């Protein structure tokens, strides 16, 4: 068979550039043996070390290895080479849910279905001590069957990173979807912060716009901290009540994920069979001067872009 793209480890043929994040490029590829499509995230070691992101990448890998769920992008394998780290992941052909919202609000049943899948995945993460901390429609991908896949665990936190008070102390995430207590740089509970983001996503799915927005970031943060939003009158009553429970600026009064799951807006999503892979607490990707000698001949697929 004639080869169309660069080949990685004689195993993956790379054929398309999918996009670029802050420190990585993502390509589509095909497993030459199984013919299965995959997405390969190519991380530059040099950039990661220079930008002080080693721990962030290790955490992303550790977390992805821990999570095996139908609504979470699966990490198949990590291939370290001298200059790059390749994360071979499940390919989400349908792209970002964000693109769908850009076209306008979704039908109620469609929005409900995505929200159920999101809550199921987030609950799965929380039960394993993982907080995503950057939930937004750009990080929710769709596969070829429209199944939602949570991706981008680059800003996630593990329960071990909590201090003794059980709270997280790093401010991160995208302002529009960020909980007030995180914006105010207070110590916060990762579970409650993720639930807030799910509420903002629910609003955006149904309304086709954000609950809190202002071109002036300071004013937007003020709106978020006061939970100042207006539900369109046509939102179903159950959604209005669910949103008032989720978008409560006081995290102690915010609805629990177990309560969210009891509403019919997420109940049906509980039927997934889930498995968990073996937990590896520290991602060994050779940052500690170990380079897998078998990987020296890797083709530099980043030149494809």
Structure tokens at 131: 């907080």
The 3-class secondary structure across 143-205, one letter per residue, is CCCCCEEECCCCCCEEHHHCCCCCCECCCCCCHHHCCHHHHCCCCECHHHHHHHHHHHHHHHH
Q: Cα–Cα distance between 155 and 133 in angstroms, integer?
A: 6
How far, rounded to the nearest angstrom, does the alpha carbon of residue 304 sit from its chain's CA centroid? 25
- Three-class DSSP category at 198: helix
Q: Cα–Cα distance between 148 and 107 in angstroms, integer?
A: 16
**Residue 17 C-beta: closest distance to ligand ATP, Å:** 9
Comparison of 125 and 243: residue with beta carbon closer to ligand ATP: 125
Q: Could you identify the residue written with the tokens 């939003």?
A: 229
**Residue 115 C-beta: closest distance to ligand ATP, Å:** 20
- Pairing type for strands 75-80 and 37-44 reads unpaired
**Residue 289 C-beta: closest distance to ligand ATP, Å:** 26
Q: Cα–Cα distance between 79 and 87 in angstroms, integer?
A: 7
What is the contact surface with ligand ATP in residues (CB under 6 A)? 18-22, 24, 26, 39, 41, 73, 89-92, 96, 141, 151-152, 154
Q: Cα–Cα distance between 141 and 234 in angstroms, integer?
A: 27
Comparison of 154 and 251: residue with beta carbon closer to ligand ATP: 154
**Residue 174 C-beta: closest distance to ligand ATP, Å:** 9
Comparison of 43 and 168: residue with beta carbon closer to ligand ATP: 43
Q: Cα–Cα distance between 115 and 200 in angstroms, integer?
A: 11
Q: Which residues of 107-119 are buried (b: 16+ CB within 10 A; e: fewer)?
A: eeeebbbbbbbbb
Comparison of 88 and 247: residue with beta carbon closer to ligand ATP: 88
Residue 284 designated active-site: no
Q: Cα–Cα distance between 193 and 92 in angstroms, integer?
A: 26
Report the first-to-last Cα separation within the chain, whole angstroms: 23
Catalytic residue among 134, 152, 189, 194: 134
**Residue 101 C-beta: closest distance to ligand ATP, Å:** 14
Comparison of 20 and 217: residue with beta carbon closer to ligand ATP: 20
The candidate with the shortest Cα–Cα distance to 224, out of 187, 174, 176, is 176
| Residue in the shown chain whose Cβ atom is closest to ligand ATP | 21
Comparison of 19 and 175: residue with beta carbon closer to ligand ATP: 19
**Residue 91 C-beta: closest distance to ligand ATP, Å:** 5
Residues marked active site are found at: 134
């Amino acid at each position: 068979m004639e080869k169309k793209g660069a080949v990685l480890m004689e195993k993956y043929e790379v054929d398309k550039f999918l996009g670029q994040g802050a420190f990585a490029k993502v390509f589509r590829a095909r497993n030459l043996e199984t013919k299965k499509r995959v997405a390969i995230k190519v991380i530059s070691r040099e950039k990661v070390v220079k930008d002080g992101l080693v721990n962030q990448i290790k955490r992303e890998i550790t977390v992805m290895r821990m999570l095996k769920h139908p609504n979470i992008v699966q990490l198949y394998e990590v291939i370290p080479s001298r200059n790059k780290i390749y994360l071979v992941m499940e390919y989400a052909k349908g792209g970002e849910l964000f693109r769908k919202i850009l076209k306008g609000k979704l039908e109620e049943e469609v929005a409900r279905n995505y929200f159920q899948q999101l809550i199921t995945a987030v609950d799965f993460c929380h039960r394993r001590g993982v907080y995503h901390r950057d939930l937004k429609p750009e990080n929710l991908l769709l596969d070829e069957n429209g199944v939602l896949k949570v991706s981008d665990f680059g800003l996630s936190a593990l329960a071990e990173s909590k201090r003794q008070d059980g709270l997280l102390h790093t401010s991160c995430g995208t302002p529009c979807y960020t909980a007030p207590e995180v914006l105010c740089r207070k110590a916060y509970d990762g579970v409650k912060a993720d639930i807030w983001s799910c509420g903002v996503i629910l609003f955006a799915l149904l309304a086709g716009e954000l609950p809190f927005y202002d071109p002036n970031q300071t004013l937007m943060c003020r709106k978020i901290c006061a939970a100042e939003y207006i539900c369109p009158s046509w939102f179903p009553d159950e959604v209005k009540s669910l949103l008032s429970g989720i978008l409560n600026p006081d995290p102690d009064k915010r609805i629990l994920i177990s309560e969210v799951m009891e509403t019919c807006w997420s109940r049906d999503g509980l039927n997934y069979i889930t498995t968990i892979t073996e937990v590896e607490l520290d991602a060994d990707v050779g940052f500690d001067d170990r380079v897998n000698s078998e990987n020296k001949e890797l083709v530099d697929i980043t030149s494809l872009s």
